[in-house]
Amino acid sequence: MKHSDWLAVFFALIILIRPLVYPEELTTQDAIIIANIYQALEKTSLKNDSYWFFYYAKKYKQDPYLSPAIAIFETSAGKKCPAPYNAFCQKNRRKDQKKLGKWRRYKSFEEAIKHNNKNIQRLWGNYATPEKMTSGRIKYTTSWRKWRRKVKRYMRWMEGGEKK
């Protein structure tokens, strides 16, 4: 079966399963974005979470390609998580002082994706960009120049505008 045939099957499954699983109505453009994310993550443990990347990006008003691009850069799309399901290398903050600064643990990739998008909105506002996240007082990472360049490249790659 050709790659284009697999994408057609994927779109058909989204349309058939959506009323049972997905809480939102999907447009054709939404399905294309989800398929692009799925294709970028298809050989990783995050491939089945492509819908959640889209859903939580939409819910927290972020670019749907930002969070998966961060996961690709930080943990090779979930292959090298520092703690269970921590695809974004997030550390614990304020709540539990005993665990402060240790790798955050999640129950699922979906929970990690939700937390990452919510955290991005809280710190950098709606429709944050890699530029916004690496300038100013709060930076997403200490190695921000390389991080910004790579995350932008992965975002363009998922959109179909550039090679990985």
Which residue bears the tokens 């937390």?
115
Boundaries of domain holding 51: 3-159
pLDDT tens-place string over residues 75-92? 999 899 899 999 998 888
CATH number of the domain residue 106 falls in:
1.10.530
Evaluate whether residue 125 is within a structural domain.
Answer: yes
pLDDT tens-place string over residues 18-77? 554 555 678 889 989 999 999 999 899 998 899 999 999 999 999 999 999 999 999 999
Evaluate whether residue 15 is within a structural domain.
Answer: yes
Full-model pTM: 0.81
Query: Residue 116 burial (CB < 10 Å; 0-12/13-18/19+)?
Result: buried
104 vs 84: CA distance, rounded Å: 8
- Dihedral of alpha carbons 97, 98, 103, 105, sign: negative
